[in-house]
Amino acid sequence: MIDHVTVPVTDFERALRAYQIALAPLGYELVMSLSQDELPSLPAPRMAGLGVGGKPDLWLRQATGPVTPIHVAVRAPSRAAVDAFYAAAFTAGLRDHGPPGLRRHYHPDYYAAFVLDADDHNLEAVHHGDGAA
C-alpha cells in the first residue's frame, strides 16, 4: 500500500492553490507546509502536504529543474465527488483531460475524471463503486 506520493511543480504557489481548490470536494486540505528556511535538510526549497483527516498523502515539491509529468489518482467517496472535483478543477485553472464518466475498460464501476495542471501532471479523481476496492 502506498502511503504518500510527491509531485514536483515549477510554480509552487500556483500549484498549491490549484490542488487545494480541485481536491477540496474530495475532503483534501493543506495539512503541512515546509521550507528549507525552517528545515535546511528539506530536499526542495518548499513542500506542502495535502490530505484528509490530518494525514498528508499528496505532497507538492517545488522543482529546481525540469519536470516530467506524472499521473496521480485520488480516490473519491462518490460519483458526485468526482463531478465536483472536475468542476472545481476548472475554477482552479486546471485543464480538461477527460470528463467524468465510466471507464469500463478498467472495470464496470470505474467512474473517473481527469485534469492536467500547469506542468501537465495528470490528476485523476476516481470512484470504484459500492463495495469495490
Domain range enclosing 111 = 5-127
Q: What is the CATH number of the domain that holds 110?
A: 3.10.180.10
Q: What is the mean pLDDT of residues 41-53?
A: 96
For residue 83, is it within any domain?
yes
pLDDT tens across 55-105, in order?
999 999 999 999 999 999 999 999 999 999 999 999 999 999 999 999 999
| 8 Å CB contact between 98 and 73 | no
Question: Could you give the number of structural domains in the chain?
Answer: 1
For residue 133, is it within any domain?
no
| 8 Å CB contact between 109 and 129 | yes
If pLDDT is split at 50, 70 and 90, which confidence band does 131 have?
Answer: low
pTM: 0.93
Q: Residue 108: pLDDT above 80?
A: yes
For residue 132, is it within any domain?
no
Q: How far is CA 29 from the centre of its chain?
A: 11
Residues 6+ apart with CB under 8 A from 88: 21, 22, 23, 24, 25
pLDDT tens across 21-42, in order?
999 999 999 999 999 999 999 9
